[in-house]
Amino acid sequence: MTKTYISDLSKLVGQEVELQGWLYNKRSSGKIRFLILRDGTGIAQCVLVKNNLSEEVFNTFDALTQESSFKVKGVVKQSDKAPGGFELELSDCTIISVAQEYPITPKEHGVEFLADRRHLWVRSSRQHAILRIRHTIIHAIREYFDSRGFILFDAPIFTPAACEGTSTLFETDYFELGKAYLTQSGQLYGEAGAMAFGKVYVFGPTFRAEKSKTRRHLTEFWMVEPEVAFNDLNDNMDLAEDFLEFIVQSVLKNNMEDLKTIERNISKLENVKKPFPRISYHEATEILKRKGIPFDYGNDFGAPDETAISEDYDRPLIVHRYPSAVKAFYMKRDPQDETKALAMDILAPEGYGEIVGGSQREDDYDVLLARIKEHELPQEAFDWYLDLRRYGSVPHSGFGLGVERTVAWICGIEHVRETIPFARMIYRITP
């Protein structure tokens, strides 16, 4: 007897196997009854034939409610008609636990109703598909960097100061040392890593106390941040574009079934090939002007601006050289135009907006110190960061990719709340 998973059934046709899982659905037709079992790896049709089974086993059908857990034994048969493609003619069926009336039914539920039951909602086929794609994306991120000589360089979550601006810091008491802040980005630590190892990536959860209630904002999200010594802005854009192509191709290679489940238009993903178009901030504002969208030159783009700028492109669009006034203190200014930063954002197609933000970093000690003062940041907290410019400073660059926005775009779904098992937003911290 082999205990196995539904995903392995194709290799076990003709053999007797044991499966365990939960009841997805059931139906009966005369002397034959069908239990649809899901075990997390797929669904399989289990057939109860009255004449071949004891009454006790045959009657488990009546007791099993949606999401009850149970265990079956039977011989595997290929069946095009069966949901999942395989069928087990059961020789045994044992109930593990009968579920109470399950709140999530095949009828339509409101999003708040489902979000309140997120711990159960993650059992549904659509959520499965999305979270499996998330899994592939995270795997692809690690594979990309691991196979190219990058060292994983973990950054702390408790930090003494802001990285991306003080207005979105989560604060907490930290023993005798006063206040600590949840990290907004591991980048500053990644820079220390790049000076130690040449190329590193930081990958972990990050926190922003954003007052934004949009479909793109979480208060806790995962970000991957490569940082490379001796890379300039162009090298940084080359890396980001190659990396994004790799991620999308990995999903196309591994998740065709999932993409079908969520009815994603695959051709939009197949377009995601290098080279990506690159335009300057200035050129992006020209697009807005041409489209008659009111915009004050020098501001950052809002979500509707990003959509308007990127909607005519069939692949991610790189926008570079933003006004330094709207960007972080650590970005190096463009020597050709001091009002601009050597920054770049990547805007996903189909209106998904910014998924990557990055830059070349200021590598001059005096200039960086002046910026820290200009931004009224606490200098003591950045003394270690200034050390990186005191001891063998070199040009270097990096970027951050937000995992949830990337999953939302690749899946073609409306809101980031479905892209992570338990989304954290300003108005939701449960379950």
- Under the binding rule (CB under 5 A), the answer on residue 190 touching Mg ion is no
Residue 193 binding: pick among ligand 4AD, Mg ion, none (C-beta 5-8 Å cut-off by kind): none
- Under the binding rule (CB under 6 A), the answer on residue 217 touching ligand 4AD is yes
CA 164 to chain CA mean position, Å:
20
Given candidates 45, 68, 187, 255, which one binds ligand 4AD under the rule CB under 6 A? 187
Neighbours of 182 (CB within 10 A): 19
d(CA 66, CA 87): 19
In whole angstroms, how close is the CB of 166 to ligand 4AD at the nearest point? 13
- Under the binding rule (CB under 6 A), the answer on residue 402 touching ligand 4AD is yes
C-alpha closest to that of 18 among 88, 82, 84, 81: 88
Q: What is the CA radius of gyration of the chain?
A: 26
- Under the binding rule (CB under 6 A), the answer on residue 128 touching ligand 4AD is no
In whole angstroms, how close is the CB of 307 to Mg ion at the nearest point? 16
Neighbours of 371 (CB within 10 A): 20
Tell me which residue has its CB nearest to Mg ion. 357
Question: Please, which residue, 72 or 319, has the CB nearer to ligand 4AD?
Answer: 319
Degrees (nearest 5) of the Cα angle 249, 255, 258? 140
Given candidates 315, 320, 321, 405, which one binds ligand 4AD under the rule CB under 6 A? 405
In whole angstroms, how close is the CB of 359 to ligand 4AD at the nearest point? 6
Neighbours of 324 (CB within 10 A): 21
C-alpha closest to that of 4 among 42, 34, 36: 42
Question: Please, which residue, 67 or 404, has the CB nearer to ligand 4AD?
Answer: 404
Given candidates 67, 241, 362, 404, which one binds ligand 4AD under the rule CB under 6 A? 404
SS3 for 371? Answer: helix
Neighbours of 30 (CB within 10 A): 6
Given candidates 133, 218, 342, 377, which one binds ligand 4AD under the rule CB under 6 A? 218
Residue 402 binding: pick among Mg ion, ligand 4AD, none (C-beta 5-8 Å cut-off by kind): ligand 4AD
CA 272 to chain CA mean position, Å:
17
In whole angstroms, how close is the CB of 1 to ligand 4AD at the nearest point? 47
Q: Helices in 32-185 by DSSP H: which ranges?
A: 55-63, 111-116, 118-121, 125-146
d(CA 227, CA 240): 11
Site for Mg ion, residues 327 to 366, rule: CB under 5 A: 357
Q: 382 Cβ partners below 8 Å, 6+ apart?
A: 161, 372
Site for ligand 4AD, residues 224 to 263, rule: CB under 6 A: 225
In whole angstroms, how close is the CB of 227 to ligand 4AD at the nearest point? 7
Question: Please, which residue, 4 or 236, has the CB nearer to ligand 4AD?
Answer: 236
d(CA 50, CA 29): 11
Residue 210 binding: pick among ligand 4AD, Mg ion, none (C-beta 5-8 Å cut-off by kind): ligand 4AD
**DSSP 8-state assignment for residue 83:** T
Question: Please, which residue, 121 or 221, has the CB nearer to ligand 4AD?
Answer: 221
Largest CA distance in the chain: 87
- Under the binding rule (CB under 6 A), the answer on residue 398 touching ligand 4AD is yes
Site for ligand 4AD, residues 318 to 347, rule: CB under 6 A: none
Q: 372 Cβ partners below 8 Å, 6+ apart?
A: 329, 379, 382, 386
Given candidates 70, 221, 243, 329, which one binds ligand 4AD under the rule CB under 6 A? 221
Residue 355 binding: pick among ligand 4AD, Mg ion, none (C-beta 5-8 Å cut-off by kind): ligand 4AD
Q: Total binding residues for Mg ion by CB under 5 A?
A: 1
In whole angstroms, how close is the CB of 249 to ligand 4AD at the nearest point? 20
In whole angstroms, how close is the CB of 143 to ligand 4AD at the nearest point? 20
Given candidates 248, 356, 388, 407, which one binds ligand 4AD under the rule CB under 6 A? 356
- Dihedral sign computed on CA atoms, order 283, 289, 291, 294: positive
Q: Is 175 exposed, middle or buried (0-12, 13-18, 19+ CB in 10 A)?
A: exposed
Q: Total binding residues for ligand 4AD by CB under 6 A?
A: 24
b or e along 12-24 (b: 16 or more beta carbons within 10 Å of the residue's beta carbon)?
Answer: eeeeebebebbbb
- Under the binding rule (CB under 6 A), the answer on residue 210 touching ligand 4AD is yes
CA 292 to chain CA mean position, Å:
34
Q: Which residues bind Mg ion (CB under 5 A)?
A: 357
Binding site for ligand 4AD (CB under 6 A): 163-164, 185, 187, 208, 210, 217-218, 221, 223, 225, 354-359, 398-400, 402, 404-405, 416
